[in-house]
Chains A and B, each alone.
Chain A
Amino acid sequence: MTYLATFHWGWLLASLLLGLAMGWIAVVHRGQGVSKTTARWLAGLAAALVAAALTQVIPGRFGYWLDLGLILFAVYLVGCAVGSWLRDRVLSRHRA
Chain B
Amino acid sequence: MHGLFRWSSKWWPGTIPLAVLWAIAAWTSTPPLEADLAARSNAALKDTVLDKARMAVAGRDVTFAADAFSEDGRRSAVASVEAVPGVRLVDDQTRLVPESKPFAWSAERDVVRVTLGGSSPLPAIRNRLMEAARAGLGGVEVVDRMNLARGAPPRFDNAALLLLDQIGKLKDGKVTISDTKVSLSGMARDLGGREAIAAALKNLPEGFSVAANEVKAPPYVFQAYKDPVAVTVTLTGYVPDNNVHAAIATAAGRKFLREKVVDNLKASVGAPAGFANAVVPALGALARLSTGTLVVSDREVKLSGDALYEAAAVQIRAGLGKDFPQGWQFKPEISVRPAAAPVDATVCQQLLADLLAKAKIRFESGRATIDPDSAALLDRLVETAMRCSTVNIEIAGHTDADGEVAFNQELSERRAQAVTDYLVKAGLPASRFTPVGYGSTQPLAGNDTDEGKAQNRRIDFVVRKGE
CB distance from B116 to the nearest CB of A (A): 42
Q: A18-B14, A72-B18 are contacts. A65–B59 as well, Cβ < 8 Å?
A: yes
Q: In the bound complex, do residue B7 and residue A34 qualify as a contact, i.e. CB atoms below 8 Å apart?
A: no
Q: In the bound complex, do residue B61 and residue A59 qualify as a contact, i.e. CB atoms below 8 Å apart?
A: yes
Give the residues in chain B near A29, CB-CB below 8 Å: 10
CA distance A68 to B18 in the complex (A): 12
A53 — nearest CB in chain B belongs to which residue?
B88
A65 — nearest CB in chain B belongs to which residue?
B26
Q: In the bound complex, do residue B7 and residue A23 qualify as a contact, i.e. CB atoms below 8 Å apart?
A: yes
Q: In the bound complex, do residue A4 and residue B86 qualify as a contact, i.e. CB atoms below 8 Å apart?
A: yes
A interface, by DSSP: helix, strand, loop or mixed?
helix
B85 — nearest CB in chain A belongs to which residue?
A3
Tell me which residues from 34 to 81 in chain A have a Cβ below 8 Å from any Cβ of chain B. 34-35, 39, 56, 59-65, 67-69, 72-73, 76-77, 80-81
Give the residues in chain A near B449, CB-CB below 8 Å: none
- Classify chain B: how many residues form its interface, as a range: 20 to 34
B58 interface residue per 8 A CB criterion: yes
CA distance A66 to B412 in the complex (A): 126
Q: In the bound complex, do residue B9 and residue A34 qualify as a contact, i.e. CB atoms below 8 Å apart?
A: yes
> What number of residue pairs across chains A and B have CB atoms under 8 A from each other?
106
Q: In the bound complex, do residue A68 and residue B7 qualify as a contact, i.e. CB atoms below 8 Å apart?
A: no
Tell me which residues from 50 to 104 in chain B have a Cβ below 8 Å from any Cβ of chain A. 58-61, 85-86, 88-89
Give the residues in chain B near A3, CB-CB below 8 Å: 85-86
Give the residues in chain A near B365, CB-CB below 8 Å: none
Q: In the bound complex, do residue B14 and residue A7 qualify as a contact, i.e. CB atoms below 8 Å apart?
A: no
B4-29, CB under 8 A of A: which get 1 and which 0? Answer: 10111111111101100110011001
Give the residues in chain A near B85, CB-CB below 8 Å: 2-3
CB distance from B4 to the nearest CB of A (A): 6
Q: In the bound complex, do residue A33 and residue B18 qualify as a contact, i.e. CB atoms below 8 Å apart?
A: no
Q: In the bound complex, do residue A80 and residue B11 qualify as a contact, i.e. CB atoms below 8 Å apart?
A: yes
CB distance from B404 to the nearest CB of A (A): 121
A-B contact pairs, 6 of them (CB 8 A): A26-B7, A31-B10, A56-B89, A65-B22, A68-B29, A76-B14
Which residues of A come within 8 Å of B, CB atoms?
2-4, 7-8, 11, 14-15, 18-19, 21-23, 25-27, 29, 31, 33-35, 39, 56, 59-65, 67-69, 72-73, 76-77, 80-81, 84-85, 88
Can you name 13 extra interface pairs (CB under 8 A) apart from A23-B11, A33-B9, A72-B22? A2-B85, A7-B29, A15-B21, A22-B11, A31-B10, A33-B12, A59-B58, A60-B58, A61-B30, A63-B60, A64-B88, A73-B15, A88-B3
